[in-house]
Structure 1
Amino acid sequence: MIDHDEAGAVRPLTLAWVSRHLEVGERIVRTEALHGGITAEMRRLTIGTRDGGTRDLVLRTFVNVEHAEDWLNREACALTLLTGTGVPAPGLVALDPTAAHCEYPSLLMTHLAGRTVLDDEGLEARVPLLARQLVAIHALRPAERPRKYEASTTADTVVVPKGADAAAWAAATDVIRKSAPPYEGRFLHRDFHPGNVLFDVPPPSPAGARITGVVDWAATSWGPADLDVAHCSTNLALLHGPAWGLRFAEAYEEAGGVLAAAASERLYWQVRDGLAFSEEVQQVAQPWREAGRTELTTRAVEERLDAYVTALMDALG
């Protein structure tokens, strides 16, 4: 009998589909909801093996999400491409992007060891690891490039937080009214940040941490390295304070990464990503609170975003 956690329960058609992709003699013995995702439901499935042991798989399901087929196909292509590259990504097991067999569009993949770490403790040791991992991702040269990056925010959609530095935000918004600067294309994760990186952190010191996996490849794109760096920078700024957002770009270069040569070009990408967060602060902050960072209220994150945008304009503007 399958032992379901209520929140982790998998729907009947999807259970049957997963079962068809197991080895002979294997069965699903437990399901557990994984927290932290914004657009998809994530579940860990514990599989009982023929020898009496267990192994884990991860089920990613899009429920009432526009463009789910596109997202899942992109992730499946990325996972296939990453096999054997040395980048620690899940392996693709099965794909049902149109819900032909499941209740909703779904992807089944291998489970990676490790956990996300969002605490301030040990951050100084983790930032260089994040930077080196992103440099390795950008070094990939796939035979077939993924689609060009998308940058959804515009000067007209920016939401200025209450009490923000109006002059800094007006100047930042003017930056993204301009055309994107030229860039040398790179293979981008496009959602690289601490919430999508798994760590092994041996006790008692966090200094011995190592990365065990990078997940959520649904937005894989081709574009400027600056954009991936900017996205991780903004996340670090909101999680840990504006100084860490500025620090990540330095760590990326120290790890051998190459960013735009001109400060004005770097500012464009950093500001574009920072302003994009203004439209979804509440959505971004909720998974962090669920992961234990209860002090990161929507208002607290808005204040950090304001401080970060202001710091960017002071440093690069």
Structure 2
Amino acid sequence: MTDHDEAATAAVRPLTLAWVSRHLDVGERIVRAEALHGGITAEMRRLTIGRRDGGTRDLVLRSFVDPFYVERAEDWLSRETGALTMLAGTGVPAPGLVAVDPAGTHCEYPSLLMTRLAGRTVLKDEGLETRVPLLARQLVAIHALRPAERPRDYVTLTTADTVVRPKCADAAVWSAAVDVIRKPPPPYEGRFLHRDFQPGNVLFDVPSSRPAGARITGVVDWAAASWGPADLDVAHCSTTLALLHGPAWGLRFPEAYEEAGGVLAAGARERLYWRVRDGLASSEEVRSVTQPWREAGRTELTTRVVEERLDAYVTALMDTPG
């Protein structure tokens, strides 16, 4: 290894570096390591791999280093491994699995190595009218998959007792919303879920000269892939759109999903249950999600602004007829 290579890979821990190297093709080496920003649960690095022919290719290394997430990493990485294996060849643009160390047996921390997809996340308001239908069509395609082996059922961690009501919120409205999720979940027809489908996990190619020509190039972070109601994935993307771009976009997304051919719960009460459940779930995560958004350039999205948008979105849901 040259001095240049040693400097480039210094950011990758020694055991992890050796593990990655064992999974490269003969004659390949890591020539550069670059931190990727925007993730919440894991440390992400882009690895540039030098090939024997003089060219390069890129891989992505995900490592769980925070003690809270390390405890959950084996389950998440096992889910993601199963999802990426199943997605290969389906037409859904997901990363290709290269190697995984779910228990941190070979690396300093539980890690996953995968191919890098082209494109970038786009969190700005400009061009949203083009991207929302694309997001909807992509989610319909994901829900249409029928895996040979069904993944584990979805998990919702939020309960009526853990909801955090924003200071700006109307207590009566939020109390009524909490009462909605005190009830048992309505019956549903199961679908393959991404479970964290939202703009931060979707990559786009957006031509600078023609924003309307945007296209999706990848869907990432399959660690929570599971089986459950399509409404739950739609609700999660709706909530994120509401916080990123305003409540109206959160209300718009279910319509876009149905326009793309997706099928949601038939009854208004059933739809309300899933949308309110996800909206309330985000009340516990406002601070953690707003930080990477600000780092990505959305500096105006302070905790207070996002809490106000969440309150407006939950209020709009509770005001929906039916």
Q: Tell me the TM-score range normalised by the shorter chain.
A: over 0.9
Aligned ranges 1:1-317 → 2 under 5 Å: 1-2=4-5, 9-63=11-65, 64=67, 65=69, 66-316=71-321
- Distance (Å, rounded) in 2 between the aligned partners of 1:38 and 1:163: 26
Aligned-residue offset at 1:5? 6.7
Q: Deviations over 1:235-289 (max 9, x none)?
A: 0000000000000000000000000010100000000000001011100111101
**Amino acid corresponding to residue 19 of structure 2 in structure 1:** W
* 1:2 to partner: Cα distance: 2.2
SS in 2 for 1:93: strand
TM superposition shift of 1:4: 5.0
* 2:8–2:31 Cα contact (<8 Å) kept: no
State the distance in 2 between where 1:154 and 1:261 align: 24
Preserved contact between residue 229 and residue 252 of structure 1 (Cα < 8 Å): yes
Cα distance 1:101–1:174, how it changes in 2: closer, same or farther (>3 A)?
same
Alignment RMSD (CA, Å) = 1.2
From the superposition, tell whether residues 316 and 106 of structure 1 become closer, same or farther in structure 2 (CA, over 3 Å). Answer: farther
**1:3 to partner: Cα distance:** 6.2
In the TM superposition, structure 1's runs of 4+ consecutive aligned residues that sit over 3 Å from their partners are 3-6
Asked if structure 2 preserves the Cα contact closer than 8 Å seen for 1:75 and 1:217, the reply is yes
- Count of residues in correspondence between the two structures: 316
Shift of 1:205: 2.5
Cα separation, 1, equivalents of 2:166 and 2:321:
21
**Post-superposition offset of 1:163:** 1.9
Q: Distance in 2 between matches of 1:115 and 1:264?
A: 36
- The code of the aligned residue for 2:208 comes to P
Q: Can you list the C-alpha shifts for 1:95-133, whole angstroms capped at 9, x where unaligned?
A: 111111100000000000000000000000000000000
Per-residue deviation at 1:42? 0.7
Residue aligned with 1:289, SS: helix
Residues in 1 aligned to 2:190 and 2:244: alpha-carbon distance in whole angstroms: 28
Task: Give 1:316 shift.
Answer: 4.6
Identity of aligned residues (%): 83
Residue 19 of structure 1 aligns with an amino acid whose one-letter code is S
Instruction: Tell me if the contact between 1:253 and 1:259 (Cα under 8 Å) persists in the aligned partners.
Output: yes
Q: 1:124-170: CA deviations, max 9, x gaps?
A: 00000000000000000001100000011111111100021212111
Contact 1:3 1:31 in 2 (8 A): no
**Amino acid of the structure 2 residue aligned with 1:76:** T
Separation (CA, whole Å) in 2 of partners of 1:152 and 1:106? 24
Provide TM-score, normalisation by structure 1: 0.98
SS of the equivalent of 1:28 reads strand
Gaps of 5+ in 2: none
Aligned residue type for 1:260: A
Q: Identify unmatched segments of 5+ residues in structure 1.
A: none
Residue 5 of structure 1 contacts residue 33 of structure 1 at CA under 8 Å; is this kept in 2? no
